[in-house]
Structure 1
Amino acid sequence: MENQKSSSSLKAIIAVLAVLLVGSLIYIFKVTSDVTTVQTELKSTMTDKETVMKDLENLKATYDAAIAENTSMSDELIQERDKVVNLISDLKKSKGDVASLAKYKTQFIALQSNMKTLMAENEGLKKQNTTLTTQRDSTVVVLTETKKNVEALAGQNEELAKAVEKGSKLTVLNTTGSAFKLRSSGKQIETDKASRADVLRVSFTIAENQIAQSGDKTYQVQVIDSKNNVLGDKKTETFGDNTLTYSFATNVAYENKTVKVTQDLKGKDFAKGTYYINIFNKGELVSKTSFVLK
């Protein structure tokens, strides 16, 4: 009888231990499963954090590249880039829990949307700048060519003006000097004898010139004898830095046609030797000749 009681007690104890063992196994399995789940969630959370961080870094790099191009939108790009930098700093300090990570993802999406809008505007501005630069370069080329043409025309005009000025100057030709003896009858007889001469005659021709300015022209005639004396009125006139002493002045009405000018210089006791005749216009020597009296 006692043996039966002892056997029943042992069976009860074994049953209880079996129940406890099963419960322990179930608990251990549950705990292990929970730990695995937590580890999986933590691992997933860290991966998400790294992904968001990488996305933010790429976003910052995009802004840095755009800012380096120094467009007119640089200020707006810098402001948005600073927002990304601040978010990166906050994310690094965060614990990386699911709630905060969701918040950072939301902020990243908003920043990414702004970035796309700003990049589109920036690209538009870059295209406009490229077009304007091309137009400006084309304009510079045209202006440079125009300037060269203007300078070339100015040079041609200057040369033409010089040619016209040179061509418009009157040419004095056929300048001659001679001596004459005056008879009581008024007749003049040409002579080469100094002792017989009463008058020295100066003649010259102004050539035809259709582009010269017509009107009254004044010429100063200088007659110098063999003793280097200026004969006649010996008038003195200053032309610029030069002073001219001449024998007489003659006025000519010039109408662009050939004009022969003749004027006499009366005198007495003319010296033998070579006489020099110089014709001046406004102080500039335009013709000269010489003749000899014996």
Structure 2
Amino acid sequence: MENQKSSSSLKAVVAVLAILLVGSLIYIFKMTSDADTVKTELKTTLTEKETVMKDLQELKSTYDAAISENTSMSDELILERDKVVNLMSDLSKSKGDVASLSRYRSQFNALQGNMKVLMAENDNLKKANTTLTVQRDSTRVVLGESKKYNEALVGQNEELTKAVEIGSKLTVLNTRGSAFKLRSSGKQIETDKASRADVLRVNFTIAENAIAKSGEKTYYVQVIDSKNNVLGDKKTENFGENTLTYSFLTNVKYENKTIQVSEDLRGKDFAKGTYFINIFDRDVLVSKTSFVLR
């Protein structure tokens, strides 16, 4: 009977131990499972934190590249880039729990949405600037070509004006000097002896010129003897800074056709030697010649 009690007690103890063992095994299994779950969740949160940080860095790089292009939207881009930098700073300091990571991910998504809108506007602005640049360059080319063309025309006009001015000047030809003796009958006999000369004659021709201005022309005639004396009236005319002493002047009615001019200069006691005749249009020498009296 006593052995029966001992056996029953032993069985009861074994049963209790068995129950305790099973409970311990269940507890250990649960603790292990919980630990694995915690490890998995921790690993997941760390991975998510790294992912969000990487996404934010890429977002910042996109803004940096756009800002470096220095468009008129640079201020707006800088403002958004600074928001990204601040969020990166907050994320790096966070513990990385699920709730905070979810919040950071939401903020990133919002910033990414803003970025897409700003990048689209920036791209449109760049395209518009490119179009304006092309148009401006095209305009410059056209203006440059027009300027060259106008300069060429101005040059041609100036050359034409000079050509017309030169072409419209009258040409004095065949200037000749000679001496004559006057007889009492009025007859004039040409001579080359100074002692016989009573008159010095100046002849010259004005050539035909269709584009010259017609009308009365005045020429100043200067006759200088062998002693360097100006003969005749010895009048003086000022032309700006130039002064001209002349023997006489002759007025010619010019009608764009060739005309012969002849003028006499009376005198006496003409000196022997070389005489010089100069024809002036105002203060410009247009013809000259010389002759000798012996």
Please, what TM-score do these two structures have when normalized by structure 1? Answer: 0.96
Equivalence for 1:5: 5
Equivalence for 2:132: 132
Deviating more after overlay: 11-20 vs 175-184:
175-184
Alignment of 1:2-81 (within 5 A): 2-81=2-81
Instruction: Find the aligned partners of 2:53 and 2:252 in 1 and give their Cα distance.
Output: 103
Q: What per-residue deviation string (whole Å, max 9, x for no partner) do you get for residues 203-236 of structure 1? A: 1111111112222221110111122211101112
Equivalence for 1:245: 245
Deviating more after overlay: 56-65 vs 239-248:
239-248
Displacement of 1:54? 0.6
Instruction: Find the aligned partners of 2:4 and 2:237 in 1 and give their Cα distance.
Output: 172
Displacement of 1:35? 1.1
Equivalence for 1:201: 201
SS of alignment partner, residue 75 of structure 2:
helix
Instruction: Find the aligned partners of 1:251 and 1:78 in 2 and give their Cα distance.
Output: 88
Instruction: Find the aligned partners of 2:25 and 2:120 in 1 and give their Cα distance.
Output: 62
User: Equivalent pairs: percent with the same residue?
Assistant: 81
Deviating more after overlay: 145-154 vs 50-59:
145-154
Structure 1 unaligned regions, length at least 5: none
Q: What per-residue deviation string (whole Å, max 9, x for no partner) do you get for residues 13-34 of structure 1? A: 1111111111111111111111
SS of alignment partner, residue 202 of structure 1:
strand
Instruction: Find the aligned partners of 1:65 and 1:255 in 2 and give their Cα distance.
Output: 82
Instruction: Find the aligned partners of 1:215 and 1:248 in 2 and give their Cα distance.
Output: 20
Instruction: Find the aligned partners of 2:184 and 2:148 in 1 and give their Cα distance.
Output: 74
Instruction: Find the aligned partners of 1:32 and 1:214 in 2 and give their Cα distance.
Output: 127
2:213 is the alignment partner of 1:217: no
Q: What per-residue deviation string (whole Å, max 9, x for no partner) do you get for residues 115-143 of structure 1? A: 11111111111111111112222222222
Q: Residue type matched to 1:149 in 2?
A: Y
SS of alignment partner, residue 196 of structure 2:
coil
Instruction: Find the aligned partners of 1:166 and 1:267 in 2 and give their Cα distance.
Output: 37
Displacement of 1:170? 0.8
Instruction: Find the aligned partners of 1:7 and 1:280 in 2 and give their Cα distance.
Output: 166
Deviating more after overlay: 208-217 vs 185-194:
185-194
Displacement of 1:70? 0.9
Q: Residue type matched to 1:291 in 2?
A: F
Equivalence for 1:282: 282
Equivalence for 1:165: 165
Displacement of 1:240? 3.6
SS of alignment partner, residue 14 of structure 1:
helix
SS of alignment partner, residue 70 of structure 1:
coil
Instruction: Find the aligned partners of 1:69 and 1:192 in 2 and give their Cα distance.
Output: 96
Displacement of 1:9? 1.0
Displacement of 1:187? 2.8
Equivalence for 1:271: 271
Structure 2 unaligned regions, length at least 5: none
Q: Residue type matched to 1:93 in 2?
A: K
Query: Aligned residue pairs: how many?
Result: 294
Instruction: Find the aligned partners of 2:87 and 2:211 in 1 and give their Cα distance.
Output: 87
- Deviation >6 Å, runs of 4+: none
Q: What per-residue deviation string (whole Å, max 9, x for no partner) do you get for residues 103-161 of structure 1? A: 11111111111111111111111111111112222222222222222222222222222
Q: Residue type matched to 2:223 in 1?
A: V
SS of alignment partner, residue 136 of structure 1:
helix
SS of alignment partner, residue 277 of structure 1:
strand
Deviating more after overlay: 94-103 vs 243-252:
243-252
Displacement of 1:192? 2.2
Equivalence for 2:87: 87
Displacement of 1:168? 1.3
